[in-house]
Chain A
Amino acid sequence: MTVAQTATTAPELVLDDVTAGYFDHDIVLDGVSMRVTPGKVTAVLGPNGSGKSTSLRVLSGFLVPRQGAVRLGDEDITHLSPGERLARGVAVLPQGRSVFPQLTIDENLRLGAWQLRKDKARLEDAVEAMLDRYPILRPIRSKPAGALSGGQARLLEFARTLILDPKVLLIDEPSVGLAPVLVDEVYEELGRLKEEGRTILLVDQNVQAAVGLADYVYTLAYGRNHLEGARDQFAGELDSLIKQWLSL
């Protein structure tokens, strides 16, 4: 269990020339394209309102684009629900707290493995594997998740997202709303996922940390593609980028 997908088995996730918005007359994304390369960490950066989170919503299936397509390998998944995408190996770690607070840790994990519900043995194995991976959760597994501290809850969210051993991980603002001490822990965990060779799309406001992890970086501005390139091309430009965004 939890042997990470290697680059050769993971398909490429592609956002192809997508236009999208929340109301029938607004445009939040205007012809945005990006690729999530197998086995690599792809970071999406940009100032407020540039369309980062909306791109992730389109990739995860919460927002159907008006134009353009989302593809996983050879398959067009533009109109698939988040659940159907999960079944194909695309898992999402949403922004902010997303545990079910009144459910126990155990139940939270089991719901993460909801798609295994017809295979009791595999479900139990998956839960055990996650409790092995995050041993801090094991002794408190029957406590309600609402009682967890911010850091513990984040680990539970990681566990719930990883429990089906997804091929592609979509991670939205992993450190937002966390105490500074915990932020480092979160990026440590992300580093571990990178070492395991997982395919990750990281949408982040923490530019330094994200670029530190990323293999490839996209930046968005006003809902359009702005810059893109390998990490090395960005490392030197960070300060000027941030200054530019702050003045927007």
Chain B
Amino acid sequence: MKRFNKVMTALVFLFLYIPMIVLLVASFNSGTDVAAFKSFTFSQYGELFRDDSLLRLLRNSILIAVLSSFLATVLGTMAAVGIHHMRARLRRLVLTATDIPMTNPDIVTGVSLALLFAFVGRLLHTNSILGFWTLLIAHVTFDLPYVILSVMPKLGQMDPDLEEAALDLGCTPMQALRKVVLPEIMPGVVSGALMAFTMSLDDFVISYFVTGSGFVTLPVEIYNYTKKPIQPKIYALFSLMFAAILLIMVVMNLLQLRDSGARRGRPQHDGRGAETN
């Protein structure tokens, strides 16, 4: 049984990584057909950095991802602190609303926002308001639950006496928040922000519905590309993004490791800290 599990795990990981290996190999292929490896080359990478339109799309994607994850982190962290102090009934209601973009399929979120923007556009008598701002709004909307759901558990784990003590010792609520609460929940804030950033960088479905021709992100353009034969430099871009995301994940893991290490060194209040090990 144990061996069966191990073999199965190896097979599933192989299955998960085969297409990625295909793409990584394709980025070094001098031919255009992925199925036939002609000869080894770095020229796709060179091509990539000479392609201004592709670099502009990448810049658009990063711009939206940075702005939306920043906004979502600020709004979401504030919201989480607020929700944490709410009465149970109200809190349940707000968390249900927070769950909507998580439980709804992306296509429904995309369509609902697209319809909202179409509706507002009709009211304003403009042809189309789709573009940078609608894209930013949509991204912040689907980023927010990730931030809130990653900050809320940290607030739950925090000793409530800490905040009270700060208030007793003369902190204003804002000071207590900044000096006591925020440092405590920081790991949750950071991992929420990183999650929001990667979600937003890679989002295709929602962006596809709320974007206009004026401002296009990389995944949307890749979708448009794939209707025509794909350019091999896209594979080079994929490989670079793979490396970047690998780096983000390693950093995230190290942060978590440090966080749980720090917590282990401290007396436990509720015995929940151990589960993050």
Do A and B share a complex? no
Q: Which residues of B contact A (CB under 8 A)?
A: none
